């Protein structure tokens, strides 16, 4: 393994979860790793004594199972939980005042631990039992776990033989870096159900799939639309696709199992699917296990633009929830209510742009429904409090079910006209009137063509090569 290795003073000691939980003292900062590698037995044991503690902070990400310690401290009097990226569970905790978001471009996380975060008092992480070389494989979640371990005062591993064994540099902790081991169980990792795919998702996916060619290198985000892209790509029959992605999803594995992902035309990690975390169903985890075609790398390798750009023809596909008429994409909050996180969206948008022949697609349905009323996701002004995830200067292609628009090199007026063309027809006239009132469109310049056809006036991705 590359990087700094944390060396303990002796061999890792095997303890019970209760003994490990007694190591926690008031005022400590704990790190629970991420996703399916969050500890369960330790968490349950800590919940049993949470009333004896004060001012304990836990840092984590992508919670996939309820946290016992938070259920035991339902008023947040003893523990504060912090997350780098929310799931639905984290969001509900946030709404109850029990979880707080930490802003982050995900690929910078290892550097945060090494430069900006005080040493973690205790890192607690799930990993596979040690192999013959003393390595405890991290399975589907690499992320920044290595950096957190390097900076920890104490490392506790809860073994989990149900995790798949996943190859990749630094996707393991050596037993010499571990202070205590909790012998865990063989329970399979938590599964993430796929969101249902709608007709709108498929309409957007068809537009994006038309722009994907043989040999392109894919990054696919989370959600119904990116999953729909993978489904339609299977039908399109493109071949020799590569994968360099933050998340390895069910959809990408299905493309691989269909023989459409070979990585043969990648410039780095040739022949490998490269990712930093994987979350999905049982078939996905089975495909990961000891598969030499798949490698998990630290998030500062998968997500940093200067690494992403080393592959040609990177195609980045991510969802958003709201875009204003100038192209600002707000993907992580609903006003002041935080719903997800910055994740890797901005870094992959920038990495794809810098890639030779690369393209990035930000996709969204044109509308949503609230209290039985249809509302536009294409807006003059973002909802007050909404966080801009991808600035207008970085957005390349925006896609709704009504078309695709390239915003690169476009004037404000051209952007506005293109975005109005992507909006639902019901809202175009009001958007045009508002844009004129704010002088975003010069007086006398109409957008009637966009209003009539539903097609964005800015160039599509066709001919991008």
Summarised one tens digit per residue, pLDDT across range 372-421 is: 999 999 999 999 999 999 999 999 999 999 999 999 999 999 999 999 99
Mean of pLDDT values over 279-297: 97
Tokens 């489904």 correspond to 231
- Cα–Cα distance measured from residue 242 to residue 267, given in angstroms and rounded to the nearest whole number: 10
Active site residue 246: yes
**Structure confidence at residue 224 (pLDDT):** 80
Nearest to 155 by CA among 60, 13, 48, 25: 13
pLDDT in tens, 200-249: 999 999 999 999 999 999 999 887 888 889 999 998 889 999 999 999 99
Strands across the sheet containing 378-379: 329-330, 322-324, 378-379
Confidence of residue 463 (pLDDT cuts 50, 70, 90): very low
- Cα–Cα distance measured from residue 458 to residue 403, given in angstroms and rounded to the nearest whole number: 10
**Structure confidence at residue 338 (pLDDT):** 96
Q: Where are the domains of the chain?
A: 13-182, 199-453
Long-range CB pairs of 371-378 (<8 Å, 24+ gap) are 374/424, 374/426, 376/423, 376/424, 376/426, 376/427, 376/431, 377/321, 377/322, 377/323, 378/322, 378/323, 378/324, 378/325, 378/419, 378/420, 378/422, 378/423, 378/424, 378/427, 378/431
Q: What DSSP letter does each residue of 331-397 carry, written as one string?
A: -SEETTEE-S--TTHHHHHHHHHHSTT-EEEEE--SEEEETTEEEESEESSPPTTPPPSB-TTT--E
- Cα–Cα distance measured from residue 352 to residue 215, given in angstroms and rounded to the nearest whole number: 14
Mean of pLDDT values over 109-133: 97
Average pLDDT, the chain: 93
- Whether the full predicted model's pTM is greater than 0.85, yes or no, is yes
Strands 242-244 and 273-275: parallel
CA 33 to chain CA centroid, nearest Å: 15
- Cα–Cα distance measured from residue 448 to residue 401, given in angstroms and rounded to the nearest whole number: 19
Q: What homologous superfamily is domain 199-453 in, according to CATH? A: Acetyl-CoA hydrolase/transferase C-terminal domain (3.40.1080.20)
Mean of pLDDT values over 312-316: 98
Asked if residues 292 and 167 have their Cβ atoms less than 8 Å apart, the reply is: yes
pLDDT at 6 over 90: no
**Structure confidence at residue 451 (pLDDT):** 35
State the number of CA atoms in the 13 A half-sphere of 35 facing the CB.
20
Confidence of residue 447 (pLDDT cuts 50, 70, 90): low
Q: Same CATH topology for 13-182 and 199-453?
A: yes
Q: What homologous superfamily is domain 13-182 in, according to CATH? A: Glutaconate Coenzyme A-transferase (3.40.1080.10)
Q: Is residue 76 left, alpha or beta, with left meaning phi > 0 and alpha meaning psi from -120 to 50?
A: left
Tokens 């040609």 correspond to 312
Confidence of residue 454 (pLDDT cuts 50, 70, 90): very low
Q: Over the range 115-146, which residues count as b (16 or more CB within 10 Å of their CB) and which as e?
A: eebeebbbbbbbbbbbeeeebbbbbbbbbbbb
Nearest to 223 by CA among 263, 275, 279, 287: 279
Q: Is residue 426 left, alpha or beta, with left meaning phi > 0 and alpha meaning psi from -120 to 50?
A: alpha
Catalytic pick from 150, 177, 246, 332? 246
Nearest to 41 by CA among 22, 68, 73, 4: 68
Residues 311, 315, 321, 327, CA torsion sign = positive
**Structure confidence at residue 9 (pLDDT):** 53
CA-derived radius of gyration, the chain: 23
pLDDT in tens, 47-72: 999 999 999 999 999 999 999 999 99
Asked if residues 12 and 41 have their Cβ atoms less than 8 Å apart, the reply is: no
pLDDT at 448 over 50: no
- 255 phi and psi angles, rounded to 5 deg: -65, -40
CA 137 to chain CA centroid, nearest Å: 22
pLDDT at 456 over 70: no
Mean of pLDDT values over 278-299: 97
- Cα–Cα distance measured from residue 396 to residue 461, given in angstroms and rounded to the nearest whole number: 9
- Cα–Cα distance measured from residue 298 to residue 218, given in angstroms and rounded to the nearest whole number: 18
Q: What percent of the chain has pLDDT over 70?
A: 93
Mean of pLDDT values over 172-184: 97
**Structure confidence at residue 442 (pLDDT):** 83
Nearest to 320 by CA among 415, 405, 390: 390
Strands 120-127 and 29-31: parallel
Mean of pLDDT values over 184-193: 94
Strands 79-83 and 99-101: parallel
């Amino acid at each position: 393994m590359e990087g700094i290795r944390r060396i303990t003073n002796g061999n890792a000691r095997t303890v019970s979860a209760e003994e490990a939980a007694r190591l926690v003292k008031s005022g400590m900062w704990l790190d629970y790793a991420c996703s399916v590698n969050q500890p369960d037995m330790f968490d349950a044991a800590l919940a049993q004594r949470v009333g004896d503690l004060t001012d304990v902070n836990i840092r984590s990400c992508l919670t996939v199972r309820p946290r016992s310690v938070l259920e035991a401290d339902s008023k947040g009097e003893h523990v504060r939980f912090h997350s780098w990226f929310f799931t639905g569970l984290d969001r509900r905790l946030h709404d109850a005042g029990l979880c707080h978001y930490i802003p982050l471009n995900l690929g910078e996380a290892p550097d945060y631990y090494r430069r900006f975060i005080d040493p973690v008092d205790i890192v607690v992480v799930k990993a596979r039992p040690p192999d013959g070389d003393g390595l405890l494989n991290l399975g589907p979640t690499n992320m920044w776990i290595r950096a957190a371990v390097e900076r920890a005062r104490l490392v506790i591993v809860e073994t989990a033989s149900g995790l798949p064994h996943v190859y990749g540099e630094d996707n393991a902790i050596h037993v010499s870096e571990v202070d205590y081991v909790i012998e865990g169980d063989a329970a399979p990792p938590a599964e993430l159900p796929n969101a249902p795919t709608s007709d709108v998702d498929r309409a957007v996916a068809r537009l994006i799939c038309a722009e994907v060619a043989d040999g392109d290198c894919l990054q696919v985000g989370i959600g119904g639309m990116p999953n729909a892209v993978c489904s339609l790509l299977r039908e399109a029959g493109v071949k020799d696709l590569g994968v360099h992605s933050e998340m390895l999803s069910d959809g990408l594995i299905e493309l691989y199992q269909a023989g459409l992902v070979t990585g043969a035309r990648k410039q780095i990690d040739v022949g490998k699917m490269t990712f930093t975390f994987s979350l999905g169903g049982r078939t996905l985890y089975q495909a990961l296990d000891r598969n030499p075609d798949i490698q998990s790398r630290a998030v500062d390798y998968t997500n940093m633009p200067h690494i992403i750009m080393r592959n040609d023809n990177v195609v980045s596909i991510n969802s958003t929830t709201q875009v204003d008429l100038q192209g600002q994409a707000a993907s992580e909050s609903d006003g002041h209510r935080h719903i997800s996180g910055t994740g890797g969206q901005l870094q992959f948008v920038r990495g794809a742009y810098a890639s030779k022949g690369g393209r990035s697609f930000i996709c969204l349905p044109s509308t949503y429904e609230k209290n039985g009323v249809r509302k536009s996701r294409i807006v003059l002004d973002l909802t007050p409090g909404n966080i801009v995830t991808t600035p207008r200067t970085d957005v390349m292609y925006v896609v709704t079910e009504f078309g695709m628009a390239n915003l690169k090199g476009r004037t404000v007026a051209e952007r506005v006209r293109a975005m109005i063309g992507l909006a639902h027809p019901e809202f175009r006239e009001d958007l045009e009137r508002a844009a004129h009132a704010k002088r975003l469109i010069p007086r006398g310049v109409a957008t009637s063509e966009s209003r009539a056809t539903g097609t964005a006036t800015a160039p599509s991705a066709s001919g991008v090569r």
